[in-house]
Structure 1
Amino acid sequence: MPLVELTDVSKFYGNIRALEEVSLQVHAGEITCVLGDNGAGKSTLIKIVAGLHQHDTGTFRINGEEARLASPREALDRGIATVYQDLAVVPLMPVWRNFFLGSEPTKGRGPFARLDVESMRRTTHSELLRMGIDLRDVDQPIGTLSGGERQCVAIARAVYFGAKVLVLDEPTAALGVKQSGVVLKYVAAARDAGLGVVLITHNPHHAYLVGDRFVLLKRGTMAGSHRKDGLELDELTRQMSGGSELEQLSHELERAPVPQHLQ
């Protein structure tokens, strides 16, 4: 049974069609990649899964039960964690404080309750290490980490707080080749930990490296749905970029032959 399943889901904003009859499945221990250019509907899809928006038609199931999430908090309570591209971290706060932001453990009771700082430091270091991230100092401001390292901290945080489904919004969009590789390694680590991962991306090369299932969106509709078995990277790239449209464009951009009298 899929952890999350969308069947023919549509979303309209007035007369604007943001999504129309989109379907996808997210299984434990698999990565479902959602690919598409800007305006393809990826952001709307994220918002529905994350509980920010509700779908208008179609069905949305979590563990086989039909659902209509009212808020991101409800999505978290149902085991769906979303890591957005901007990460929503506090750059000047230490790594451990960002790791527990909004869920800080305390010790003591009543007026004597205080943050359990040592526990948060220790847990942050051990959880990052478990994901393969060896930070020497979790007291350093998270803003001093690279973009890839901040993405990895967000992934480790979601795993620690019990996410069953991890939605990643363009985690490699603003990163170089090396940092993108680091992030993809930890995305694969989350999959190997048994999570169902939804990877939103416009990069078919990154998707093909880690993906098990591929959903292609174009202008709010499905342009394709495939498993990796039997699907070559070239074909995935061609379908995402609109192969026939590119061929037509290449013909239009071909140089016209120079007339002989001008040669």
Structure 2
Amino acid sequence: MTPPSDIARQSSACGQYSDLAGKTVFVTGGGSGIGAAVTRGFVAQGARVAFVQRSDATAFCDDIRDQFGAAPLFLPCDITDTRALKAAMKQTAEQLGPIDILVNNAANDQRHRTEEVDEAFWDWSMAINLKSYFFAAQAAIAQMKPNGGGTIINFSSVSYMAGMKGFPAYTSSNAAIVSLTQSLAREFGRDGIRANAVAPGMVVTPRQMELWLTEESKSKQLENQCLPEALVPDDIVGSVLFLASGASRMMTGQTLIVDGGFIARG
């Protein structure tokens, strides 16, 4: 199926960061949505990229090989299985070299009502949206410290900043991700490890279009942005590459908001 034009739009403003060539990058959820754009962006920079996700991403890897002459390493993995996640990160180091850059991207923003949340749902949401971030960072740090440093980039969301309703477990985890990022930056800065977060606004992806994004809700969102244009996955990639590169070498513990000015407008 041909994707909507908004989703298909490609960004040419990412820039080139020569220091990313040859770096080992590990991306969670790197075969679809924003994660796929991030994986493609790092491959385009000449980085060695591995990514995990549950669904099959073979066709995506083949597409990248056709485009760039090199494919990322796809490791099927459920990130809520901490042992499997750490095993995938170990395999990445064995095949591509120690991880230099970790991108914690995978998340699930399933809508839910506060009154209907039970303990099982809460634990499931936290396992995806927060616990996996912590343990991926823990495993990456173990590889980065002996290697002289590295960069951790955690995905949060402006949803918690705006006090959005409809998914309180998700917004809670995203607020915690910012706090986790700041703590990691403080704790491991002396080891040459930087930790920053990216907080996207409403990004049009096939999943959002399929599950809950309507033309009406999209129009309403755009009315509340300073820049009245829908964000697509490629619009997030430039910020991730910047935070991964030496161009941001003295930035840590920060959160970059990429939302078309949604938060700024209030």
TM over 0.5: no
TM range (shorter): 0.3 to 0.5
Query: Which has the larger helix fraction?
Result: 2
The structure, 1 or 2, with the larger RCO (C-alpha pairs under 8 Å, 6+ apart) is 1
Q: TM-score, normalised by structure 1?
A: 0.40
